[in-house]
């Protein structure tokens, strides 16, 4: 469960990014942070809390069927209304937060690992390995958007784990390209030259100099990537290829609600709102971190 908490430090990172300094400095930091970032940070914190400790917000069992209360419109009794089986949508959305965030994190981690392995290898290797990897990544880029993820699903079958792997592989080419560029920059940096001149073994330089420096901007990439991964993974569930009903997963709930659009818009609207919130807040946090990092350099 501890991995779920990492978006929270993401929102608070700006204050840590600057050295702990005088009070004036932190006041400046508070003032220079746009209001939108504070709102996004607060919402993100809420999502993380809902993921880690859903019982804080749960008002009802998300799986409890109550046919007498089916299709209740949002109101005081049921904040987000009830679905076709009388299940409380607010509770289901909260219960689904953990799985959706975990899916996004897992997919991002898989994408980064695969992309990092390809990109960093290409960046530190000689011309032949580099161009072979570049060719391979270029071929993967021939499958735009969700297509690569759909191919993986075609092979591995439907399901949550499959969806995480599929989205991870689908995002790997992008990470590979970014990390290769990043590695090439680090390899050309004077401190690597110095380390080489000092006669350090290459594997030592790779582990202690190159990878840490390539990894630093990853924080931003991860923050931006999670939002995208959540959207992709829930798209797969929406298409019936990821989490399957009656799972309280946002994409699957949305697919469920699609059948009742004409009589009960809220069944689809609220899970979708949470997908959007997750994507939006992580994107805003990521952009903000990026600007901070750029401003520091």
Residue number, 66 or 159, with CB nearest to another protein: 159
- To another protein, the closest distance from the beta carbon of 263 in angstroms equals 9
- To another protein, the closest distance from the beta carbon of 134 in angstroms equals 9
In angstroms, rounded to a whole number, what is the distance separating the alpha carbons of residues 251 and 58?
20
Residue number, 60 or 181, with CB nearest to another protein: 181
Residue number, 48 or 231, with CB nearest to another protein: 231
- To another protein, the closest distance from the beta carbon of 214 in angstroms equals 22
User: Which among 227, 279, 267 has a CA at the least distance from the CA of 83?
Assistant: 267
Residue number, 124 or 166, with CB nearest to another protein: 166
User: Which among 144, 84, 30 has a CA at the least distance from the CA of 267?
Assistant: 84
In angstroms, rounded to a whole number, what is the distance separating the alpha carbons of residues 284 and 279?
9
- To another protein, the closest distance from the beta carbon of 183 in angstroms equals 18
Q: Is 88 helix (H, G, I), strand (E, B) or coil?
A: strand
Residues that bind another protein (CB under 8 A): 36, 135, 138-139, 141-147, 150-151, 153-155, 157-158, 227, 231, 234-235, 238-241, 254, 257-258, 261-262, 265, 268-269, 272-273, 275-276, 279-280, 283-284, 287
137: exposed, middle or buried (C-beta count within 10 Å: 0-12, 13-18, 19+)?
buried
> What distance separates the 2 farthest-apart alpha carbons in the chain?
77
- To another protein, the closest distance from the beta carbon of 280 in angstroms equals 4
- To another protein, the closest distance from the beta carbon of 142 in angstroms equals 4
Residue number, 112 or 284, with CB nearest to another protein: 284
The angle, 0 to 180 degrees and rounded to 10, between the axes of the packed helices 89-124 and 127-140 is 150
In angstroms, rounded to a whole number, what is the distance separating the alpha carbons of residues 137 and 111?
13
Residue 282: how many CA atoms within 13 Å on its side-chain side? 26
Q: Is 87 helix (H, G, I), strand (E, B) or coil?
A: coil
Q: Is 82 helix (H, G, I), strand (E, B) or coil?
A: strand
Answer for the pair 173, 137: CB distance below 8 angstroms, yes or no: yes
- To another protein, the closest distance from the beta carbon of 262 in angstroms equals 5
Residue number, 48 or 210, with CB nearest to another protein: 48
- The secondary structure of 163-196 as a DSSP string is HHHHHHHHHHHHHHHHHHHHHHHHHTSHHHHHHH
Residue number, 218 or 239, with CB nearest to another protein: 239
- To another protein, the closest distance from the beta carbon of 275 in angstroms equals 5
Q: Distance of alpha carbon 222 from its chain centroid, rounded? A: 7
Residue number, 131 or 194, with CB nearest to another protein: 131
């Amino acid at each position: 469960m501890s991995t779920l908490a990492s978006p929270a430090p993401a929102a608070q990172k700006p204050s840590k990014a600057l050295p702990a300094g005088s009070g004036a400095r932190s006041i400046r930091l508070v003032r220079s942070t746009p209001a939108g970032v504070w709102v996004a940070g607060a919402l993100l914190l809420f999502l993380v809390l809902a993921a880690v400790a859903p019982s804080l917000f749960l008002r009802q069992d998300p799986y409890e069927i109550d046919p007498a209360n089916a299709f209740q419109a949002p109101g005081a009794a049921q904040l987000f209304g009830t679905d076709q089986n009388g299940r409380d949508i607010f509770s289901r959305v909260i219960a689904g937060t953990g799985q959706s965030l975990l899916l996004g994190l897992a997919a991002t981690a898989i994408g980064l690992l695969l992309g990092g392995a390809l990109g960093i290898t290409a960046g530190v290797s000689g011309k032949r390995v580099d161009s072979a990897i570049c060719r391979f990544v270029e071929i993967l880029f021939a499958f735009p958007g969700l297509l690569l993820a759909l191919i993986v699903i075609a092979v591995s079958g439907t399901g949550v784990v499959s969806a995480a792997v599929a989205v991870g592989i689908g995002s790997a080419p992008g990470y590979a390209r970014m990390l290769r560029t990043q590695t090439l920059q680090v390899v050309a940096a004077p401190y690597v030259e110095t380390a080489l001149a000092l006669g350090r073994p290459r594997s030592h330089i790779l582990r202690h100099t190159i990878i840490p420096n390539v990894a630093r901007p990853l924080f931003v990439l991860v923050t931006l990537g999670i939002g995208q991964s959540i959207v992709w993974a829930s798209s797969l569930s929406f298409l019936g290829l990821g989490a399957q009903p009656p799972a309280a997963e946002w994409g699957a709930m949305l697919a469920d609600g699609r059948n009742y659009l004409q009589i009960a818009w809220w069944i689809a609207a609220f899970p979708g709102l949470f997908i959007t919130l997750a994507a939006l807040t992580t994107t805003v946090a990521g952009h903000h971190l990026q600007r901070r990092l750029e401003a520091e350099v």
